[in-house]
Structure formats: structure tokens, C-alpha cells
């Protein structure tokens, strides 16, 4: 630990002395981008809280309900790749209000197609656009804050993923007062945010604007080894969050026999912990190398997943284990993007962010399938948690052994 502390101090000294004061515009951009991100993530997750209600109304099978929920999430994850590259070129000043405004269209179209399964799938595809704003906000926030404060700032922005929790809580409650009401309310919120973003967001005047084509920039980002290293780590961290968000209610109902309401409440508590610890992961990364923070957080997740594999009683053992795992996953999602800022050339941050963010979103849909298959075959979730432990511990070792060196390489450039 002593050697690590010396390394952290050595690399941070020039940052502290050379970093200028943070301008007020940086905090204005951070606040507006975080709120815009939360609202767009609410839109991205708009179908999920209504899936059971809409599915029962349309007599859908479990698979059809799952597909209806998955389409916007998958599209939103993959869409981050081109949107991140476009942000490098056009800037967040244009991209953020544009995406917010365009997302209004599928939100309102849900009113028209809510009684048609095929229509919900088609509109859900375009609703995925709301999930791409993550790839717009990261390069914006990254450009405004100096390296010594960048991790915390990007972590605060990432807390906008709490829009998923907002959707889960408010959408079904608004729906009770009118089947079209949640879509109208969210469309108005997106319209207001588009206007606010247009007038209050600003790209940094000295930002580097790439001149090469979109395809070449994505190709260049894809050829960077660090892009896929970060993508793998983010798939474990943020993918774990998405996986638990999707599957935790089912796990709690199936294994612990909770009611749907109680399971949903506990799952919301898990999501809240991940939101809180994301900026904490970024803040710690400003003080310790983000690779070290990632290693400790994933190591904690790996160890606790082994404990949960032994299927303890829910109270207090299982509850404590799951909530601390949530803290570890939230910390990882913040520290990995602090690493993006540290190891990625500034003109490529948007492109790399798009790829890394896409892999994080996609990484959340493999574990639920594995957990379901394991339970069907073994009538136990133990093997699933052991596989999570294996992935987390592998990420821990790789972060500590390899990614610290990547950070030093970029700092010396």
C-alpha cells in the first residue's frame, strides 16, 4: 500500500500545481447535463415499468414482454457508439438538445401504439435514442474539468442514470391517472430540457475538433487496446448494475419468496446505492489511481458474490451482501470512466466513451439469461453468483496489474 500511495502522489503532483481554477461554466454544464441525462434515461426506460400492465393487456408471453423491454435498452447501448463519435465532431452544444428533442417523437408515439405489440417494438427501437445521451455528457464534462477533479465530475454526471429509478417509481403511478399521461408528462419534460440545454450548455472554446470522418474516428478508437480493456471493465461494473436491475426482483421473488411490491422496493434500494456510489468512485479516483479504486471495488464484489452463492438468509445477511455489492458496482462504474479521462487522447474521448458505454449496457443482458438458465437447470442461483465472482476477481487482477501502467503511460506523454 505504501508503494501505491507514493505512486498516486507522484502522478498527482503535476496535476495539482498545473490545473487552473474550475470556471463557473463547468459547474453549470455539469448540472444541466446531469439533469438532461436523468430525464433522457427516464425516457429510455419508459416501457419497462409498464411491461407487466401492457403485457397483460395484450396477452403477451414472458419472452414477448422481455423483448419489448430489451429493444430500447439494446438500441440505446449500441447507439452510444455513433452518438459519441458525432459529439467529438459537432459538440455537446448541438448533440444534447438535438437528442432530447428527437426523443420526444417516440415518447409521444407510444400513445398511438400502446395497444399494438408490433407498434411497441418499432417505437421502442427509436426510444433507445434516449439512452445515448451518456456518450454526449461524458466528453462535455471531461473537457470542462481539470484532471484533478475530472473523476468526481464525471461520476456526478453518471449519477443521472438514476433516471431509471425515477421511471420505475413515477411512471406506473402517473399511468394510474391516465394511460397517456406519463408519455405526455415526459414529452413536456424533454421539450423543456431541450430548450434549457440549447441555451445553457456550452462546449469548451479550446476543445479539439477532429477533422477525419466518423468511420475513421470510430475505427481509430476501436483500434486502441485501452478501449476494449475499459469496455470489459465497464461491462462488469455497469453491466452488473443493469443485470441486477433487470433480474433482482425476479431473484428475490423466486428464491426468497417476496411479494412483487417488496421485491421491487428492495431492488430500488439496490439501484439507489449504485447511484450514490458512482460519484464516490470518481471522487476516490481523483485521489487514488482509478485502476486501484476499480481493483478494490471489484475485489469486494467478487468476495461478496461468493458469500451470496451460499444463499444466506435475506435478513440481515443477504440484504447486507447485496447492498454492499451495489456499492462496489457503483464505485466501479465511476472509477472506470475516471480512467477513460486519464488514458484516452482528448479528441477521442467521445468515440471511446461511446464504445465503452455500449459494452456496459450490453453487458447487463447476459447475466440475467445465465441466472435464469442456471436456476432452471440446478434449482439454485449459486453457480450464477460464482460466475459473477470469477468475472469480478478477474477484473480486479487486470485493473491492478495492467491498467495502472496505462495511466502512467498517458501521464508521461
State pLDDT tens for residues 299-311. Answer: 999 999 889 888 8
Q: What pLDDT was estimated at residue 49?
A: 78
pLDDT band, residue 195 (cuts 50/70/90): very high
Q: Are residues 181 and 114 in the same domain?
A: yes
How many folded domains does the chain comprise? 2
Report CA-CA distances (Å) from 372 to 240, 251, 268, 360, 366. Answer: 15, 9, 21, 20, 10
Q: What is the pLDDT of residues 79-95, one digit of tens each?
A: 888 888 888 888 999 99
C-alpha 403: how far from chain center: 21
Q: Do residues 410 and 150 touch, judged by C-beta distance below 8 A? A: no
The answer to whether residue 356 is domain-embedded is: yes
Report CA-CA distances (Å) from 137 to 64, 257, 309, 332. Answer: 33, 40, 37, 18
Q: Are residues 329 and 258 in the same domain?
A: yes
Q: Are residues 192 and 60 in the same domain?
A: yes
* CATH code, 80: 1.20.1250.20
Q: Are residues 385 and 405 in the same domain?
A: yes
Q: Do residues 47 and 183 touch, judged by C-beta distance below 8 A? A: no
**Nearest CA among 134, 149, 345, 150 for reference residue 234:** 134
Per the document, the length of the chain is: 413
Q: What pLDDT was estimated at residue 260?
A: 62
Q: Are residues 185 and 246 in the same domain?
A: no
pTM, whole model, 2 decimals?
Answer: 0.73
The answer to whether residue 13 is domain-embedded is: no
Contacts of 64 (CB under 8 A, 6+ apart): 55, 117
Could you list the residue range(s) of the whole structural domain that residue 118 is in?
Answer: 23-209
**Nearest CA among 161, 166, 177, 93 for reference residue 330:** 161
Q: Are residues 152 and 177 in the same domain?
A: yes
Q: Do residues 258 and 266 touch, judged by C-beta distance below 8 A? A: yes
Q: What is the pLDDT of residues 367-402, one digit of tens each?
A: 766 776 777 777 877 888 888 888 899 989 988 888
What gap in Å lies between CA 270 and CA 36, rounded to an integer? 23
Q: Three-state DSSP class for 367?
A: helix
Question: In the structure grid, which three cell numbers stand for residue 185, read together?
Answer: 408528462
C-alpha 209: how far from chain center: 26
Q: What φ, ψ does residue 132 adopt, rounded to 5°?
A: -85, -10
Single out the residue in 149, 180, 209 at which a domain terminates: 209
Q: Which of 228-242, 249-263, 323-337 shows the lowest per-residue confidence on average (mean pLDDT)? A: 249-263
Q: Are residues 182 and 157 in the same domain?
A: yes
Q: Do residues 97 and 191 touch, judged by C-beta distance below 8 A? A: no
E strands in 198-258 = none
Q: Are residues 130 and 224 in the same domain?
A: no
Does the pLDDT at position 413 exceed 50?
no
- Taking CA 193 as the corner, what is the angle to CA 189 and CA 198, rounded to the nearest 5 degrees? 155
Q: Are residues 194 and 284 in the same domain?
A: no
Single out the residue in 158, 184, 209 at which a domain terminates: 209
Q: Are residues 139 and 240 in the same domain?
A: no
Cis status, amide bond into 166, omega within 30 of 0: no
Instruction: Indicate left, alpha or beta for 228 from its phi (over 0: left) and psi (-120 to 50: alpha).
Output: alpha
Report CA-CA distances (Å) from 290 to 76, 97, 311, 334, 338. Answer: 26, 31, 32, 9, 6
Q: Are residues 233 and 360 in the same domain?
A: yes
Single out the residue in 167, 190, 209 at which a domain terminates: 209
Amino acid at each position: 500500500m505504501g508503494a501505491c500511495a507514493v505512486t498516486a502522489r507522484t502522478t498527482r503532483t503535476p496535476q495539482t500545481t498545473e490545473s487552473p481554477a474550475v470556471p463557473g461554466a463547468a459547474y453549470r454544464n455539469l448540472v444541466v447535463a446531469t439533469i438532461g441525462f436523468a430525464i433522457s434515461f427516464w425516457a429510455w426506460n419508459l416501457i419497462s415499468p409498464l411491461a407487466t400492465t401492457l403485457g397483460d393487456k395484450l396477452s403477451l408471453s414472458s419472452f414477448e414482454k422481455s423483448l419489448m423491454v430489451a429493444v430500447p435498452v439494446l438500441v440505446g447501448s449500441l447507439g452510444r457508439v455513433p452518438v459519441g463519435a458525432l459529439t467529438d465532431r459537432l459538440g455537446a452544444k448541438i448533440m444534447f438538445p438535438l437528442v432530447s428533442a428527437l426523443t420526444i417523437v417516440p415518447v409521444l408515439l407510444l400513445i398511438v401504439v400502446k395497444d399494438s405489440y408490433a407498434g411497441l417494438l418499432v417505437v421502442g427501437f427509436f426510444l433507445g435514442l434516449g439512452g445515448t445521451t451518456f456518450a454526449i455528457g461524458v466528453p462535455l464534462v471531461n473537457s470542462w474539468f481539470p484532471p484533478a477533479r475530472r473523476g468526481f465530475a464525471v461520476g456526478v454526471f453518471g449519477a443521472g442514470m438514476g433516471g431509471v429509478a425515477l421511471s420505475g417509481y413515477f411512471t406506473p403511478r402517473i399511468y394510474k391517472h391516465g394511460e397517456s399521461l406519463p408519455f405526455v408528462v415526459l414529452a413536456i419534460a424533454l421539450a423543456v430540457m431541450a430548450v434549457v440545454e440549447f441555451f445553457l450548455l456550452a462546449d469548451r472554446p479550446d476543445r479539439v475538433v477532429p477533422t477525419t470522418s466518423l468511420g475513421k474516428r470510430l475505427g481509430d478508437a476501436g483500434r486502441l487496446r485501452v478501449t476494449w480493456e475499459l469496455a470489459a471493465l465497464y461491462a462488469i461494473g455497469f453491466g452488473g448494475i443493469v443485470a441486477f436491475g433487470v433480474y433482482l426482483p425476479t431473484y428475490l421473488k423466486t428464491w426468497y419468496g417476496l411479494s412483487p411490491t417488496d421485491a421491487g422496493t428492495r431492488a430500488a434500494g439496490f439501484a439507489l446505492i449504485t447511484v450514490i456510489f458512482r460519484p464516490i468512485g470518481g471522487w476516490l479516483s481523483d485521489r487514488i489511481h482509478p485502476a486501484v479504486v476499480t481493483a478494490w471495488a471489484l475485489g469486494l464484489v467478487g468476495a461478496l458474490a461468493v458469500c451470496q452463492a451460499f444463499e444466506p438468509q435475506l435478513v440481515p445477511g443477504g440484504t447486507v451482501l447485496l447492498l454492499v455489492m451495489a456499492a462496489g458496482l457503483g464505485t466501479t462504474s465511476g472509477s472506470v470512466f475516471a480512467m477513460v479521462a486519464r488514458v484516452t487522447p482528448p479528441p477521442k474521448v467521445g468515440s471511446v466513451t461511446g464504445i465503452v458505454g455500449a459494452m456496459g449496457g450490453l453487458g447487463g443482458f447476459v447475466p440475467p439469461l445465465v441466472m435464469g438458465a442456471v436456476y432452471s437447470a440446478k434449482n439454485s442461483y449459486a453457480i450464477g453468483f460464482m460466475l459473477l465472482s470469477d468475472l469480478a476477481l478477474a477484473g480486479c487482477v487486470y485493473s491492478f496489474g495492467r491498467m495502472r501502467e496505462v495511466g502512467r503511460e498517458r501521464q508521461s506523454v
